[in-house]
Structure 1
């Protein structure tokens, strides 16, 4: 989804500056125009795969192209994944070339297959597997995705070159386009309404959810005086509203790490409803920046420490 451009107002900036490439940019050429939800991934693109796992479960196959067993396993996995028509995706990783990814998953032998749901690893199996076993595991994985609110449908990650050329002009869903048009005209309330309607019609619309969080950030910060907000935050370090306002202004001003650190600190010092409200706001800001962004990944680790 094209990123919304902020309307002209005090403190507003182009939120696209925060965002990493979206999962739709992970295109890879498939065979003879047949759509595929499988692609090879290196360390550079792995954050996008992690982000994609918030929409659908992602199967990660770590192997070696020099291993016939790995190649055969990937073919079996790909056939099952593609048969699901976008309800899950698959990333193949050359564990020899991408040792950092293998180490992150603590993989010591290949082939090894792991899934990602909401960025969290779910071990599946090591070594070879029969088609029936793979199909059964995939069904269990999809059920686990539903239980964790990850049950969307995504466009193919790859098409043939000819098909890609035909689809070069991307047409956004009508409500998404209406929201972007409203943002460009400065009507944030209309943009919010359009994104909310999109989510009412399709609760798993991840792009609409991100867009809604972006618009709400702009609405909260529009017309605010940075100095006054900072002064109020300094006077009331344990006030939830004051600290969330400063975090919003920090984020919109490009001070991403400061915004995250402020809310993580607040969450660590409080309990009950205030703690949960701070956590919910922080998760919103994560989506605005992009779940694959390294600053979000680092902050999530700090958040986990203060939560658990």
Structure 2
């Protein structure tokens, strides 16, 4: 089709979803309704009008693929939804599949301006991007998803979703010393010696070799914070940022210094505010810098989860 699914690329009109009929349910909670079983799998959720915003916000941590379908209008689209749910586990959290039955949740289809079904849309950092509109056989769908994940990796998008369902963890010996991974030793030794350039280079090697190595990504992000703030006078940096609130470099530098000083929430809040009041390249620069700070702290940290929600709100 030549018709574009979105009349406003990069934005989702959520105004139609601000009047939920019931209290919002957590994304992935059993919802029932037509169009398939409730709840989803470890890496898929059945999206309702009440939890749509929460699913969109989860794209701030890792990609979300929204699959729009209707079993009554086009059974093939329902099969595509089933196949996506089946395949989601194979990619172990590289994306979360959000299954949207447009008959059960017509306001979501209206908000997303869906022209036809089936339609699969990737959402990255709250931004939608149409992927494909065909009901592919499962083998071709697996190949297409592999290509999409490879493109994510090329763009530096390596974070993963946590499973929505998991088996009970095995018993852990709390007295045992955590194993030391020798891969990180060169970078950690360099940091211990104050050689930040070498630490950045060593972490970069690890990330280049395995972009999904979350520890290496976090280490690289923090080492870059150290590199950017090396030799910077805190008072001078704060004075420069206060004197020119629109200077993106000045604001990101103070955010880095706040990170090093343990004021993580302050760092996040400063950059969220910059994102909220800027546009274009400046907004992108501030957003990307903030995402780097999120990586440095770690996606499981409650402060990062709060920061991602604030960033999603600022983007919309």
Q: TM-score, normalised by structure 1?
A: 0.53
Residues 52-71 of structure 1: pairs in structure 2 closer than 5 A: 52-53=62-63, 58-63=64-69, 69=75
Q: Deviations over 1:35-90 (max 9, x none)?
A: x663215333442245322xxxx532245799994654432333344456766553
Residue of structure 1 in register with 2:311 after alignment? 296
Q: Deviations over 1:69-116 (max 9, x none)?
A: 465443233334445676655332455676665444323776643334
Q: Find out whether 1:284 has 2:284 as its counterpart.
A: no
Q: C-alpha distance in 1, partners of 2:105/2:179?
A: 35
Kept in 1, the 8 Å contact 2:221–2:293? The answer is yes
Seen in structure 2, the aligned counterparts of structure 1 residues 168 and 97 have a Cα distance that, compared at 3 Å, is farther
Residue of structure 2 in register with 1:3 after alignment? none
Larger RCO, structures 1/2 (Cα 8 Å, 6+ apart): 1
Q: Find out whether 1:90 has 2:94 as its counterpart.
A: no
SS at match of 1:121: strand
Q: Find out whether 1:40 has 2:45 as its counterpart.
A: yes
SS at match of 1:203: coil
Kept in 2, the 8 Å contact 1:61–1:90? The answer is yes
Q: Find out whether 1:195 has 2:200 as its counterpart.
A: no
Please state which structure has a larger fraction of its residues in helix. 1
SS at match of 1:51: coil
Kept in 2, the 8 Å contact 1:195–1:208? The answer is yes
Residue of structure 1 in register with 2:85 after alignment? 78
Residues 128-143 of structure 1: pairs in structure 2 closer than 5 A: 129=135, 132=137, 134-143=138-147
Residue of structure 2 in register with 1:229 after alignment? 237
Taking only aligned residues, the RMSD between alpha carbons, in angstroms, comes to 5.4
Residue of structure 2 in register with 1:174 after alignment? 181
Q: 1:216 aligns with which of 198, 221, 224?
A: 224
Residue of structure 2 in register with 1:13 after alignment? none
Extract unaligned runs of 5+ from structure 2.
1-26, 31-40, 295-303
Kept in 1, the 8 Å contact 2:61–2:159? The answer is no
SS at match of 1:157: coil
Kept in 1, the 8 Å contact 2:275–2:287? The answer is yes
Extract unaligned runs of 5+ from structure 1.
1-25, 30-35, 269-274, 302-308
